[in-house]
Amino acid sequence: MTVLGACAAWSLIAAAAHDGRPEGVLLAVLAVTAGYASGRIAGALLPVAAPCAAALAGLGLAVAVPAPPSGLRFDAPPGHAGATAALLALATGAVCCAAWATAVPGLRIALRLSAAVIVLTGAAVGSAAGCALSAGVLLWSLAAGRTRHRGRGVLGLGLLAALVTGVTWAVAGNVLPTGPAAPLESLLTPDRVRLWRDALCLARRNPVLGTGPGRFGEHGAVLSPTAPPDARPHSAPLQQAAEQGLVGAALLVAVFCWVLYALWRTSRTTPVALTAGAALTALAVVAAVGNALSFTTVPAGAGLLAGLATAHPLTGDAPEPGGGDVGGPAGSPGGDGLSERCPV
């Protein structure tokens, strides 16, 4: 709550300094907070049913989103492709968490088949990114059942998110070698790369407070007259840096790091923690190259999944395959902490 409160407070400070519009940031913070609180409550009462309901809702919202445009053009409803991919990844993570939370073998198989259906749904609605990310979450969840060191898995997810974000900033700063840069910029499209460079330019001009929340479109249009109608740079870290300075970007990173730390410390089983971490890392990847976080349902879903994965079920989790995790601190990721209790 301290980190989320700091995000809200800094958006107000940056808005006051440059006459910005912090409503979008405040709404996103409220969505994450509400989702997380709901997930903690629902996950404690219904550790299997609640993630299933969340997955069904996420799948329904993903299907209801208008079909993504072919390629990465900006002339169709902007950002919908990223929102669809993010919702599909979160839905897959939720149903896989439910599969690991149940002790009924038949139900676990059925839930994993449901996750496979979500992957195929991504292909059916034309979301190649959603299909790929959902498949990655499903495969990671299956592999998590054989993982005994939770910390390594969490660290790997953090490094993956850092790598994608670093590449995004490298493309924006035009510091990549010509060989790998050319095909990457072609895949991202010149318009998107130009927006990223505009955002980085604004961040360099105003490194502390930025240009003010919601004001990228006003300044970006001056730098790039062909800016898209949604007036966003299509990258959450770069948008934060441009509109709220490096402090705003650091707070966004802090939120993600806090989520990974909470998953590392949670008393839930290692497969549940790593599955949720994979889905949230997929969201971080999408947010680094798109506008996924601009849709209220996406941060709300991320908060909900984080809450479900860190809740303390009243009925207890199913036993972990292989006898539990030996890689975390006693009493949380490393099992139930019985070795630290006083003998009776």
Query: What phi and psi, each to the nearest 5 degrees, are found at residue 261?
Result: -65, -40
CA distance 168 to 183: 14
CA distance 107 to 321: 16
DSSP 314: S
Determine the distance from the C-alpha atom of residue 205 to the mean position of all C-alpha atoms in its chain, rounded to a whole number.
28
Q: Using the Cα atoms of residue 332, residue 334, residue 336 and residue 338 in order, give the sign of their dihedral.
A: negative
How high is the pLDDT of residue 282? Answer: 96
**C-alpha closest to that of 298 among 26, 61, 19, 41:** 61
**CB 202 within 8 Å of CB 211:** yes
How high is the pLDDT of residue 333? Answer: 43
DSSP symbols for 255-288: HHHHHHHHHHH-SS-HHHHHHHHHHHHHHHHHHH
CA distance 1 to 29: 10
How high is the pLDDT of residue 306? Answer: 97
**C-alpha closest to that of 244 among 5, 80, 22, 4:** 22
Using CA atoms, how far residue 273 sits from 1, 114, 178, 260, in Å, is 20, 19, 39, 9
How high is the pLDDT of residue 263? Answer: 96
CA distance 213 to 19: 8
pLDDT in tens, the chain (344 residues): 899 999 999 999 999 988 888 998 999 999 999 999 999 999 999 999 999 999 999 999 998 865 544 433 333 334 578 899 999 999 999 999 999 999 999 999 999 999 999 999 999 988 899 999 999 999 999 999 888 889 999 999 999 999 999 999 999 988 888 777 788 888 888 888 888 988 999 999 989 988 988 888 776 554 555 555 456 788 999 999 999 999 999 999 999 999 999 999 999 999 999 999 999 999 999 999 988 898 999 999 999 999 999 998 886 555 444 334 444 443 444 444 333 333 43
How high is the pLDDT of residue 17? Answer: 87
Q: How many residues can be counted in the chain? A: 344
**C-alpha closest to that of 291 among 183, 210, 211, 217:** 217
**CB 243 within 8 Å of CB 252:** no
How high is the pLDDT of residue 322? Answer: 39
CA distance 207 to 216: 14
DSSP 307: H
